[in-house]
Structure 1
Amino acid sequence: MTVTLQFHGAAGTVTGSCYRVTHPGGQFLVDCGLFQGNKSVRALNLKPTPFNPGAIDFLLLTHAHIDHAGLLPKLYKEGFKGEMWMTGPTAGLLEYLLPDSAGIQESEAERESRKRGRRGNEPAQPLYTMIDAEEALKHRQTTQYYEWIEPGPGVRARFWNAGHIIGSASIEVQVKDGEGKTISIMFSGDVGPDEKVFYKEPEGPAGFDYILSESTYGGREREDYSLEKRRTDLKREINGALERGGNLVIPTFAVERSQELLHDIGYLIKSGEIDPQLVFLDSPLASKVTSVYRKYAKMFDDVQLGAEEPVQ
């Protein structure tokens, strides 16, 4: 029997990352993400799962973003019983992100059910529920960067820093085929970007048989945007708002972007470049995620504020 790889997402569209590897010892997944985007893309989440979740032995998770992890509760709802391997910070983020996603699924189904009720139709069912998210969280297993694990027969894996969000990893996998030959594969996950506050640049070995690489911006020329320029632009906007006597409201994603923004604001305050009277983080989810960053602060490659002076 040969080793086969199938794509069940992030092919033809950016979101919904899910790889399935079948080999003589069984089969496993790398990521199981939610499809996000317009209505037609989101509808892909409602399609029948194209494999038997109960036949999957285990799952390797690159990072906690919902387009890579958002269908995990659905996977357990449909019969998956195996363990999910990830880094410690990824496990910490899932503690908050999966219940948050389940809450969204339940509220959207409730809203759709009200519409259907007015037409006399059957109520809508959520893609998965809070109970499904809680079940998924029971199966988390953590590993350190650079350490080999053996999650199943004939399979070895180790996680490398991907430099994307806290805990993100590129996953090196070695799988034996039917003749006992080892096939080596690198799943990049989401990588970078180049200029990050908290982490070292992405890293990993060479010499693989196959590399499955993120290419979201692979065909796009992007202007270099340094950390120094980002902080200069942020300082200009903050000081401009303060000079006009107003408040500055900055919408941002709860995971990673909020924490980097807090870090930049803290750096600018400490260096005397801005002087806001109060800084609020007005997001329960972002506040919970920030607690994960504090817990794993020793992992940060940050020489400007340091783990001992977190921004409140």
Structure 2
Amino acid sequence: MEVKDFDFDLPEELIAQTPLKDRTASKLMVLHSKTGEIMHRTFSDVLEYLNEGDCLVLNDTRVLPARLYGVKEDTGANIEFLLLKQLENDQWETLVKPAKRVKKGAIISFGDGRLKGTCIEELDHGGRIIEFQYEGIFHEILDSLGEMPLPPYITEQLEDKERYQTVFAKHSGSAAAPTAGLHFTEELLESIAAKGVNIVYITLHVGLGTFRPVSVEDIEEHEMHAEFYQMTRETAEVLNNAKSTGKKIITVGTTSTRTLETIAHANDGNFTESSGWTSIFIYPGFEFKAINGLITNFHLPKSTLIMLVSALAGREHTLHAYKEAVKEKYRFFSFGDAMLIVEGSNN
């Protein structure tokens, strides 16, 4: 199977540049995975597709204000950094522009010296390992100096940093938001819980893989970047109970999906308290052991994300749905509209 099999035409004007004022006002396309049937709804209608005893799984990672602008101490050159993941203590894997100016041993100053970073290792593709020096609390300094790492296809400034966070974001560590979760409000979550739906949380810190295109023709040769995940015992117990009683498990986002499938595949289809690194790559032919449905945004052509959606809903159904989304002028990508993939021909 080749990357070109997941291509589609997307008019640039459909790439959402700003979030809607009301998170739940996004469009919601409901796609039935077995039949390919499509319904056009509003995101708040998602409540109709969730039943008592079902599980809704959310990723509670929090996005770091991970884009930093610094000055190289010896030359005064302006350098841009994107923090990708913390390695140990104050060492971080980063993406650097322009990388050629940052060699091993280079010292970068941020915020007039409130934060300094030393390059201790050079990686491929603009990657650098940086060790930071500072006084005080690192995350407080980062909050004051850093900017939200919006994807490159969003060219407008974000007025409110919190609009690129989910309302349930808790554990800091991501280089990008789990964007399917951006559609939920506290009120909608309360309504879902009141219906008897079990809302559970996992953590997967979104990393370099989000920014990395598929550069091979044969998708089976693509290697995913590892990302850190964590599932608590309480979440595992609720998921196992739902599975044993025939209730649905619906993940919010590809990150939640990858976490659950990683754990289920390692535990004969069951869930257990666990944490670690996953590089699972889900594409057509994948055997799902964990989930029954998925809420997700509309993704980039030829991306690993549309491949995951195609694995669940079928490639033909998925590409037909995307063609319909373009026709109906759905908004695409991080601040765009949503798709709910369900089994069967009704809820």
TM-score by length of 2: 0.22
Instruction: Decide which structure has greater helix share.
Output: 1
Structure with larger RCO (C-alpha < 8 A, sep 6+): 2
* Larger gyration radius, structure 1 or structure 2: 1
Richer in strand (by share): 2
